[in-house]
A and B are shown apart, each in its own frame.
Chain A
Amino acid sequence: EAEVAQSPRYKITEKSQAVAFWCDPISGHATLYWYRQILGQGPELLVQFQDESVVDDSQLPKDRFSAERLKGVDSTLKIQPAELGDSAMYLCASSPGRAGSPLHFGNGTRLTVT
């Protein structure tokens, strides 16, 4: 079964440093999502792409976070500078975009900011 690929699996960085996460969705999936999951909570949407266009980034802290999906395939999420409160699991998901389609998640990147 096709999977959503994410890298790295784990990342430790010092506060004020830059960090980037990469996601490769399931082939053919037009919709890509980045979620943040703080320990003990459910995932919360950061940004949603339809092909290369941003559909929803209302919860993305744009002063330090950026996301791109230049060719409408893989995507990068960047944080600069990282803060202690950014420690969380960053999950990428993709979907074919049809009504009622579930999201398919990658295994995530566990970020620890020290």
Chain B
Amino acid sequence: AQSVAQPEDQVNVAEGNPLTVKCTYSVSGNPYLFWYVQYPNRGLQFLLKYITGDNLVKGSYGFEAEFNKSQTSFHLKKPSALVSDSALYFCAVRDRGSQGNLIFGKGTKLSVKP
């Protein structure tokens, strides 16, 4: 069975500092991995994905994520956090052999203080 773990309910960062939001996954085969962001009372916005190739993928708004197959991790990173990055972040996985449904983690609330 597929699963995603986001071990931190909340991450607090000062503006201008680097941020990391952690994600680990479990799938039976090779994964497709995604990060989404959600603002209050809104749907999920796609940030980036890992399909194949380079382990470091770049996405929207300056975010990037590093795929680590041996650690089954896909941590979200940004070199310099902005107050406007404060939101709920979700990691999601899809087994390449599945029919397309994404399995989501529970989410991590990112709070960036001025």
User: Which A residues lie within 8 Å of B43 (CB)?
Assistant: 4, 6, 91, 93, 105-108
Once the chains are docked, how many angstroms separate the CA of A107 from the CA of B44?
8
A87 sits at the interface (CB 8 A): no
Distance (whole angstroms) from the CB of B35 to the closest CB of chain A: 10
List which A26-50 residues lie within 8 A (CB) of chain B: 31, 33, 40-45, 48, 50
Complex partner residue of A105 from B41, B44, B106, CB under 8 angstroms: B44
Count contacts on B: residues with CB < 8 A to the other chain: 23
Once the chains are docked, how many angstroms separate the CA of A77 from the CA of B101?
18
Contact: B46 with A97, CB < 8 Å? no
Given contacts A4-B43, A42-B92, A99-B96, 18 further A-B contacts (CB under 8 A): A31-B100, A40-B107, A42-B90, A42-B106, A43-B90, A44-B104, A55-B100, A56-B101, A93-B43, A93-B44, A95-B100, A102-B49, A103-B102, A105-B36, A106-B43, A107-B43, A108-B41, A110-B41
Interface residue ranges, A against B (CB under 8 Å): 4, 6, 31, 33, 40-45, 48, 50, 55-56, 91, 93, 95, 97, 99-100, 102-108, 110
